[in-house]
Structure formats: C-alpha cells, structure tokens
C-alpha cells in the first residue's frame, strides 16, 4: 500500500501550512486526485484517520476532487479528457494517445480554524 507514504507526506505538508497560518485546528483538506494516480480514497482516509490522531488535524476530513486524465492524440494532436470519450480520440478515433496529465495528487486548499 503506497498510500501510507503518500498520506505521511500530505500530512507533513498540511501541518506545515497550518502552523504557518497559526491554525488551531485543521478541519478539512481539499485533495485533487488524478484518475491515473492509482490512489484509493478509502485507503487515504484510513491512513489519514490513523496518522492524524495525535495532531491538530485530528477529526479533519479529506474532500476528494477527482480529475479526469488529459490525453493527446498521436495522430491529429487533439487534446481531450478521458471523461469525454475514454481513451480514444473524439476527433479522429485514433487509439494511440499520450497521457498529458492525470497522475496528479495535491492539496488544493485547507480549511482551518
Ligand atoms: Zn485524433
């Protein structure tokens, strides 16, 4: 489970930002998760609850925002999202596409008190 190390680094970042903002409590974390990041929400939540127990992020929740993969057609250069037409070019039906984005995983914003 690679989620554990991911959550550890996310938490470190969250606590660093919360500290800078002089927050007393972290209430929520808005997390952007790319479709191809390979991260499972439930695993992230599980480790989050576990790792935050002794921190000011205790009882905070993660709000997941899933983003589609961004693809580029190798034939016509069309850029599209996987949510539009899967992994097939919507313009020329080519199946050879390059992945431009979709593996991202980052904190979009924090809710603190
Ligand atoms: Zn195309």
DSSP 7-60: HHHHHHHHHHHHHHTT-S-EEEEEEEEETTS---HHHHHHHHHHHHTTSTTTT-
Yes or no: say if 1 and 40 are a contact pair by the CB < 8 Å rule: no
Please provide the CATH number assigned to the domain covering 3-112.
Answer: 3.30.2320.80
Residue 12 pLDDT > 80: yes
Ligand 1 centroid to Cα of residue 71, in Å, is 10
Residue 1 pLDDT > 70: no
Ligand 1 centroid to Cα of residue 97, in Å, is 8
Yes or no: say if 60 and 49 are a contact pair by the CB < 8 Å rule: no
What is the pTM (predicted TM-score) of this model? 0.86
Ion ligand 1, residue ranges at CB < 5 A: 73, 75-76, 78, 89, 91-92, 94
Mean pLDDT of the region 60-79: 97
Each domain of the chain, given as residue ranges in start order, spans 3-112
For 70, the 3-state DSSP assignment is strand
């Amino acid at each position: 489970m690679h989620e554990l190390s991911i959550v550890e680094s996310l938490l470190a970042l969250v606590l660093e930002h919360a500290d800078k903002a002089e927050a007393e409590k972290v209430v929520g974390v808005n997390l952007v998760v790319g479709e191809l990041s390979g991260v499972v929400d439930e695993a992230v939540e599980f480790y989050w609850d576990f790792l935050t127990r002794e921190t000011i992020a205790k009882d905070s929740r993660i709000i997941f925002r899933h983003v589609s993969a961004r693809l580029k057609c190798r034939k016509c250069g069309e850029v599209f999202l996987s949510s539009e037409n899967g992994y097939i070019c919507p313009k020329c039906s080519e199946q050879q596409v390059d992945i431009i984005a979709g593996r991202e995983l980052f904190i979009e914003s924090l809710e603190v008190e």
